[in-house]
Amino acid sequence: MEEPEIRRRRDDDMKACVEALATVHEADRYPARWPADPGGWLTPAGLLDVWVAVDGADVLGHVALTGAGHAMAAEAGLPPDGLASVSRLFATASARRRGVAGALLATATTAAAAGGLRLVLEVEDGCGGAVALYERAGWRLVSSRSGDWTTADGRTALLHTYVAPAGATR
Residues 18-57 pLDDT 10s: 999 999 999 988 998 899 999 999 999 999 999 999 998 8
Q: Residue-wise over 132-141: b if at least 16 C-beta within 10 A, else e?
A: ebbeebebee
* Nearest to 107, CA basis, from 57, 52, 30, 164: 52
Which helix (H) or strand (E) segment is 69 a member of?
helix 69-76
CATH 3.40.50.2300 fits 5-163, yes or no: no
What pLDDT, in 10s, does the model give residues 42-97?
999 999 999 999 998 899 999 999 999 899 999 899 999 999 999 999 999 989 88
